[in-house]
Structure 1
Amino acid sequence: MNSISSPFPVNAFTSTEYHLQLSTVTGFFQQDDNATDPDRFDYASSNLGLINRTYPSDLLFDPTGTKTQWQRFEHFVRKLDANPGNSVHYKVLFVGRHGEGYHNVAEAFYGTPAWNCYWSKLDGNGTITWSDAHLTPTGIKQALNTNAFWRHALSEAKIPAPEAYYTSPLDRCVATANLTYADLPLPHSCPFRPIVKELLREALGVHTCDRRSTRSAIRAAHPSVTFEPGFPEQDPLWVPELRESTSHHTERLRALLRNIFATEPGMFVALSSHSGSIAAMLRALGHRPFPLQTGGVIAVLVRADRAPGPAPVVPVDPPVPAPDCGSGVVQK
């Protein structure tokens, strides 16, 4: 597609024979609970929000009570998914927001109204550049903090290492994934090999920070990445005049998740994405809103039910133009 005025086929990755209905399974993570304040949530000190509780499989798996909470949770979830011929499957998503980027700094400096109506359309301001925004030093530090969390969690909490890694093609997400998972003591069976997924990117259009670089430039900057099949050289989705609607964004992320469930055999999956796309992902899963700070991470237990017939067509709103600045909005 050349313009988001022609909606992306958001019901892709389904067949005429069946479709996947995705939903959040609650009761296992603090972030599922309405009593958990996202502004006070600390993924590192809360064990990624995993609730301290028992599971039906504990009696046989951990009769002496020596296993960690994550070991018991992993065993429980794998047993849920183990029935042959089951039409229900589960995955645990480790969803991370990229570290602070230069576009975040610019929006904070100019204010959101001026950013949305004027500055976000530019490549930069002559001092900093935010087109396909890179990480700031603070963003790099946030990603390294997440790396330290994983290093400790793998050895002490016995959290299962991701079995697959997916990232948005935008530089700040690829860089965050590399800093987060590189050089960790990962199992040989599950090495860090990030796969770039086009649909995992931020809301489309207008904002140059959300316009991706060419495939060649991404490869040159991040040689370790793998591109999903058919990933094109040029950005096919971003346009300067129109911004993707919220409902279209949600259905795009639903299509992405259906694709991952249909093609990814791993149960524990890491995703490096953006605030808006994580919000869209959670809406698609029926999860409560849970905004993340830059560099933040949450875990989500997802159930996929295989339902007969093609996926229902969900109406989506058309894209919208950037807001008009009016008078007096752009002050700096």
Structure 2
Amino acid sequence: MAFDAAHHDAASTRDGHIPHALHPDDPAVAATETGGPGTSPGDLEKPHEYRYETIKGFFLQTEGPKQVDFDVLLARSFGLLDTSPERWTNLRAAVSELQRSAEEGVTYKVLFLGRHGQGWHNFAASKYGHDPWEAHYTYMTTDGELTWGPDPELTELGHEQARTVRRAWGREVEAGAPIDDMTWFVSPLTRTCQTFLDSWEGLYSSPEVWEDWREIYGAHTCDRRSPRTYIAERFPMMQIEEAMTEDDELWRADERETDQHMQMRMRRAMDRVMANNYRTYISVTAHSAILRNLLPVLGHQPYPLATGEMIPVVVKATRLRKA
């Protein structure tokens, strides 16, 4: 089915996808539980409406290469450098001061970017190994024992990874974490919706599902989404964007989306967040490859996210022209 220009991607095969009999990801990050190597595709897409910069000095994840285990980061408030009892109050005050003193056209946001927990495709990729997975199994839906496509669910480990994040938020809310000033965004795939519900149980309000936050389009069966009516019935608490079509018109069996095209989506999504004046603190529950491409858009260093991990980023957005 052709792309619908009125909705999302009318980009041609040349601009957005790679036609080929096989579509291995290089490096393989989407199905790997570790998030792949600590490398970046670089900033491949020019700014659209806003230029983004990562502000250092707030979270450990901006201060150097990834070298601290996620459970350690959870124990220290998702990586806050300030470890005092007033840490969240201090963060709020510092961000508010940045907002107050910002030049015209400049806005600051604090993003909490979470990768979904282990899905059955991650489990299957580990079972078979990355090379056989990328060359063969990722184009299948099942091996007769495991089912990983389309749109796989979380494993029990994946649920537990997300519940671990929820327990950490429970502690941090008591210490003043800014849940009261937060907006939540979710990819429409089942594994991200499940991760969101486990990670934010009892804390969220009106999560918005946007197509742009989803994983790489095309070829790999685990990245094909379910119909809109299924998502609405399965996750009635989610606010699905109006433009989402009933069937997945973005996934094609014979094409695979490029890093540059994913970065186009990430710039588009971030510009939409900024133009609509969402709250200061933003949660995004998404996927490894799309977050790998969001980080260079934000001016952040490479930071591979394992299944269930989350990275906070303080972002400065400068409007380039009237949004």
Q: TM-score, normalised by structure 2?
A: 0.82
User: How much has 1:265 moved relative to structure 2?
Assistant: 2.3
**More displaced, 84-93 or 235-244?**
84-93
Q: Name the structure 2 match of 1:5.
A: 13
User: How much has 1:254 moved relative to structure 2?
Assistant: 1.8
Q: Name the structure 1 match of 2:189.
A: 170
User: How much has 1:246 moved relative to structure 2?
Assistant: 1.7
Q: Distance in 2 between matches of 1:249 and 1:137?
A: 29
Question: Where do 4+ consecutive residues of structure 1 move more than 4 Å?
Answer: 10-14, 38-41
For 2:293, the aligned partner's letter is A
Give the secondary-structure state (helix, strand or coil) at the position aligned to 2:110: strand
Q: 1:4 to 1:43 in 2, by over 3 A?
A: farther
Which of 171, 186, 209 is the aligned partner of 2:222? Answer: 209
Does 2:208 match 1:195?
yes
Q: Name the structure 2 match of 1:228.
A: 241
Which of 21, 31, 34 is the aligned partner of 2:61? Answer: 31
Deviations 1:212-243 (A, max 9, x none): 00000111111111011311111121111111
Answer whether contact 1:88 1:306 (CA < 8 A) is retained.
Answer: yes
Q: Distance in 2 between matches of 1:309 and 1:52?
A: 36
Q: Distance in 2 between matches of 1:178 and 1:163?
A: 15
Give the secondary-structure state (helix, strand or coil) at the position aligned to 2:74: coil
Q: 1:192 to 1:242 in 2, by over 3 A?
A: same
Q: For structure 1, list consecutive stretches of 5 or more residues without a partner in the other structure.
A: 54-65, 185-190, 311-332
Q: Name the structure 2 match of 1:326.
A: none
Q: Name the structure 1 match of 2:79.
A: 49
Give the length in aligned residue pairs: 286
Q: Name the structure 2 match of 1:182.
A: 201
Give the secondary-structure state (helix, strand or coil) at the position aligned to 1:90: strand
Give the secondary-structure state (helix, strand or coil) at the position aligned to 1:231: coil
User: How much has 1:271 moved relative to structure 2?
Assistant: 0.4
Does 2:274 match 1:261?
yes
Q: Name the structure 1 match of 2:302.
A: 289
User: How much has 1:277 moved relative to structure 2?
Assistant: 0.9
User: How much has 1:183 moved relative to structure 2?
Assistant: 1.7
**More displaced, 158-167 or 92-101?**
158-167
Answer whether contact 2:65 2:303 (CA < 8 A) is retained.
Answer: no
Does 2:274 match 1:274?
no
Deviations 1:262-294 (A, max 9, x none): 114200010000111111110111210111111
- The equivalences for 1:149-168 within 5 A come to 149-155=168-174, 157-161=175-179, 163-168=182-187
Q: For structure 2, list consecutive stretches of 5 or more residues without a partner in the other structure.
A: 4-10, 17-43
Q: CA RMSD in A?
A: 2.4
Deviations 1:187-209 (A, max 9, x none): xxxx5221111010111111111
User: How much has 1:23 moved relative to structure 2?
Assistant: 1.5
Q: Distance in 2 between matches of 1:306 and 1:250?
A: 18
Deviations 1:73-101 (A, max 9, x none): 11110221135872100000011110110
Q: Name the structure 1 match of 2:6.
A: none
Q: Distance in 1 between matches of 2:55 and 2:291?
A: 17
User: How much has 1:308 moved relative to structure 2?
Assistant: 3.2
Q: 1:11 to 1:31 in 2, by over 3 A?
A: closer
Give the secondary-structure state (helix, strand or coil) at the position aligned to 2:178: coil
For 1:297, the aligned partner's letter is M
Q: 1:225 to 1:35 in 2, by over 3 A?
A: closer
Q: Distance in 1 between matches of 2:236 and 2:171?
A: 27
